[in-house]
Amino acid sequence: MKCFHFTNGERREEEEDGAVASSSRASRVSWARSFSVASSTAADTRRSEFGDSDSRDLGDSLAFYELLTQRRANDLRVFSFAELKSATRGFSRALMIGEGGFGCVYKGVVAVPGGAPDGSDARMDVAVKQLNRNGFQGHKEWINEVNFLGVVKHPNLVKLVGYCAEDDERGIQRLLVYELMRNKSLEDHLLARVPSPLSWKVRLKIAQDAARGLAYLHEEMDFQLIFRDFKTSNILLDEDFNAKLSDFGLARQGPAEGLSHVSTSVVGTIGYAAPEYVHTGRLTAKSDVWSFGVVLYELITGRRAVERNLPRSEQKLLDWVRPYVSDSRKFSLILDPRLEGQDIKSAQKLASLANKCLMKQPKSRPKMSNVVEMLGNIISELSPQDDVIPEPVETEAEEVKGEAAGETEVDSGKQGNSKLRKVFDIREIVNLRNKSTGKLDWRNWTPGLVKTW
């Protein structure tokens, strides 16, 4: 599900990262300024607190980015385009592990000077995101990622290893290099793109990890960041199924002290954006809390926030679950069939927490630090039999190898949404028939997977 700008027919004041350029000349000036900030040397000192010299108006986008550049970690590595081209074997399609709205993601291996115990160079598996070269689309998102991920550091935020910024005769080369997350995204697991389903306890721990990441952005820094695009495809899982937030392209600085919100253009993903933000353009941290509530229901049901392949009455997840949540006798009808036999009372408690996050009035929604605590209470009440760790994701490179002549085998996980779809044997497909109702369970149906029933 890709991100895009929402429109509601109203004209709003645009404060999104500075004034929007209304002409090509203004666009070029904006691009030049942002590039000068992002491509400054990685040796810039990082400040732990705002000093007297930082008393500038942080509402001004350029001033804020300059401040972030000064505080950027000095371990952020600047790669050459040639290095990353070599690391991904010329951006081979056999190494492509994902595709987003602003470009493709490739698995690669880069050298780490002196990283081995004996002082020799070590090798690191990474994910390389390459921005589309045609036009300026996505450049601002690239700038956001370099600046924000170069400053924020937390176990539940994906690590930015470095970046590349080069211009040549072929166009603009903008790339980001992340740590490789071997167990793909939460979306991949919920949509049955991997053979081993997530147990209930693992789902809860993933939710808690993601909540910790948002709490850090909202409450634990000396400036607030609003993620603005929280969804299952932006929650990545490492080899131990620890969750980390990724894709800070749409992240936005929170309101300045004394202000209740930020007025900005409305961007995000349908089904996840908070209604008050969509209708008014007023952004607060509680907008992320709403999105988190949507993801909790995705964990409970195994369904997308919006699924056009379902009957009309079930296409919007929140509308579909509403009549079942309040009736304990019917609650099991919305539970992911792959969770059969697991703790339904715990799922009901998670649904209650999701409802708190989805309160109509933003002020009534809990802070993410409170959500972390409530999730901890739900996890602590689980029985030991619920502690089941899923099997690691199997590699997909062997499947690709047969289609890519001359390519060698690649041991790769998938990061983000992949264009490559694995077709499972019919015996491995989750049962499409809901046992309790005898009706087709369309949540696990994929076009082309089953032609007739």
Q: Which CA distances in Å does 98 have to 148, 234, 253?
A: 22, 12, 27
102-128: buried (b, 16+ CB within 10 Å) or exposed (e) per residue? Answer: bbbbbbbebeeeeeeeeeeeeeeebbb
Any idea which residues carry the catalytic annotation? 229
Q: Distance (Å, rounded) from C-alpha 282 to C-alpha 263?
A: 5
Pick left, alpha or beta for residue 155 (phi over 0 → left; psi -120 to 50 → alpha; otherwise beta).
Answer: alpha
Q: Which CA distances in Å does 415 have to 311, 381, 395?
A: 30, 32, 12
- Tell whether 201 is in a known binding site: no
Q: Which residues pair with 175 in a beta bridge?
A: 130, 164
Q: Distance (Å, rounded) from C-alpha 270 to C-alpha 284?
A: 18
Do the Cβ atoms of 348 and 330 come closer than 8 Å? no
Contacts of 244 (CB under 8 A, 6+ apart): 155, 156, 157, 158, 159, 181, 209, 213, 235, 236, 237, 238
Rounded to the nearest 10 degrees, the angle between the axes of helix 344-357 and helix 368-380 is 170
Q: Which amino acid is at 319?
A: D
Q: Distance (Å, rounded) from C-alpha 338 to C-alpha 348?
A: 16
Strands, E, within 38-83: which ranges?
A: 77-78
Q: Which CA distances in Å does 78 have to 25, 82, 93, 146, 177?
A: 29, 12, 24, 11, 9
Q: Which pair of tokens denotes residue 342?
A: 């697991």
Q: Distance (Å, rounded) from C-alpha 372 to C-alpha 375?
A: 5
Q: Considering only CA atoms, give the Rg of the chain.
A: 22
Q: Which CA distances in Å does 143 have to 118, 179, 351, 430?
A: 36, 18, 37, 41
Q: Which pair of tokens denotes residue 76?
A: 């952020």
Specify binding-site residues for ATP. Answer: 129
Specify binding-site residues. Answer: 129
